[in-house]
Amino acid sequence: MKSAAWSDHLESIARPVLAETPLFAESSPADALAFVDGFADELGHRRRVDRPLLLRLLGLNGHLPEKKPGSVDESIWWALHAGETMDGFIEPGPGPIIGQAEFASGAIETTTETELASLHALARHACESQNDLLRDRCEDAARWHVDTLQPDNGTNHPWAIHAFVWLAESDPEYAASGSLHAECLLHNSIVRTGRPDWFSACVLLDASRALAKRSETTG
């Protein structure tokens, strides 16, 4: 599938889960902000990256972090939300956005989640700013993931699925493996119940919008 088809597909999966929330249902800014403040997944879990992701999805600008960002992914997400530069948070390639040393020293589950959430936000920024250098860095990181990690290695959240779709479109050598990686990320997010959990649905919706933007800018 191309970006436009992927965008429609991901939204069709996310919409039924989120249909009654301010992400799809008409609501006031106050109600939307209350949704952000009270958000948690079905298990009651709330991650610090949830807030900038949801604020961005809802177009609620001007909000600051509740606490100083404590991880790379959170820092990149807040920078994306605020329209700030991300250069200080990105390790030089080749390899993962957060750097090889993090994978050598950290737990694979936590580290993979942090890396993919960082790649997700960075790929969105690269697309919206049409920054070729950032786009190349994202594609390099996506190649590293395809070559090094299993797509279910550490997370069932479909972070950065759009980055692997774009890699498959832009690099013929990764046309098959990039698509497969994206498909596996999606499958892993819905395999338990046949639909994504609330948080994964939010991630899929954001990826859908990124893919729609990519389709608009590339024709």
Report pLDDT digits (tens) over 172-216: 999 999 999 999 999 999 988 899 999 999 999 999 999 998 777
pTM to 2 decimals? 0.94
- The domain limits of the chain are 3-218
pLDDT tens-digit readout, 120-172: 999 999 888 888 899 999 999 999 999 988 776 667 899 999 999 999 999 99
Percentage, residues of the chain above pLDDT 70: 96
What b/e string do you get for 11-50 counting C-beta neighbours within 10 Å, with b at 16 or more?
A: bebbeebbeebbbeeeeeeeebbebbeebebeeeeebbbb
| CB 197 within 8 Å of CB 18 | no
The two tokens of residue 3 are 């970006």
